[in-house]
């Protein structure tokens, strides 16, 4: 969803957006989590996140029912480009690899436009997948150039 809460296939790189995943749990379980991965359409992994990243969600008992997990992605992070989202649900058991219940590869694609963000004044698009606005400080070093 875009920064206005509307479903959109095109997002403004300057604005935050969110990933919302609706799902249903059929039996009581703990240490379960839902996540997603973002990648470029050429298959380069960009990031992965899970609602279990917040410790209180991964250890909480999830009762049968319908849920929506929402993740907020900050604006000004991504470079312009086309991306794909994969979603998964899993359970973590101490000392073992996660048990993956479902993995939906490339469930949707979207485009991020960079109309007036970081580096947009340059004649070509910045390299890389991310394009955050970083803090810079320029200080004179006391050496005059003639």
Give the pLDDT of residue 130.
Answer: 84
User: Which residue range forms the structural domain that includes residue 82?
Assistant: 10-113
Q: Is residue 79 part of a domain?
A: yes
> Long-range pairs for 52-56 at CB < 8 Å and ≥24 separation?
52/92
- Give the 3-state secondary structure of residue 23: strand
Q: What is the CATH number of the domain that holds 66?
A: 2.70.50.60
Q: Is residue 75 part of a domain?
A: yes
Q: Is residue 78 part of a domain?
A: yes
**Could you tell me which residues are beta bridge partners of residue 20?**
70
Structural tokens at position 30? 């703990």
**Could you tell me which residues are beta bridge partners of residue 45?**
39
Q: Is residue 82 part of a domain?
A: yes
Structural tokens at position 142? 């006391």
Structural tokens at position 56? 């209180």
Q: Is residue 83 part of a domain?
A: yes
Q: Is residue 109 part of a domain?
A: yes
Instruction: Give the E-state strand segments of the chain in sequence order.
Output: 10-12, 17-25, 32-40, 45-50, 65-73, 81-91, 99-113
Contact 52, 101 (CB under 8 A): no
- pLDDT, tens digit, for every residue of 48-104? 999 988 767 667 889 999 999 999 999 989 988 999 999 999 988 777 788 899 999
- Give the 3-state secondary structure of residue 102: strand
* Total domains present in the chain: 1
Q: Is residue 124 part of a domain?
A: no
Q: Is residue 138 part of a domain?
A: no
- pLDDT, tens digit, for every residue of 13-50? 889 999 999 999 999 998 888 999 999 999 999 999 99
CA dist., res. 8 & res. 64, Å (int): 30
- pLDDT, tens digit, for every residue of 89-139? 998 877 778 889 999 999 999 999 876 655 666 656 777 888 887 788 988
Contact 129, 40 (CB under 8 A): yes
10 Å Cβ neighbour count for 81? 20
């Amino acid at each position: 969803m875009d920064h206005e809460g509307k479903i959109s296939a095109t997002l403004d790189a300057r604005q935050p957006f969110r990933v919302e995943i609706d799902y249903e749990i059929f039996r009581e379980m703990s240490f379960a989590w839902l996540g997603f991965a973002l990648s470029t359409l050429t298959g380069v992994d960009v990031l992965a996140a899970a609602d279990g990243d917040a410790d209180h969600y991964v250890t909480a008992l999830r009762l049968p029912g319908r849920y929506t997990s929402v993740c907020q992605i900050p604006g000004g992070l991504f470079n312009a480009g086309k991306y794909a989202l994969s979603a998964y649900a899993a359970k973590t058991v101490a000392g073992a690899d996660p048990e993956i219940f479902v993995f939906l590869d490339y469930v949707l694609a979207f485009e991020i436009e960079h109309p007036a963000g970081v580096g947009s004044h340059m004649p070509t698009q910045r390299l890389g997948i991310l394009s955050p606005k970083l803090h810079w400080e320029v200080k004179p070093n006391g050496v005059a150039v003639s």
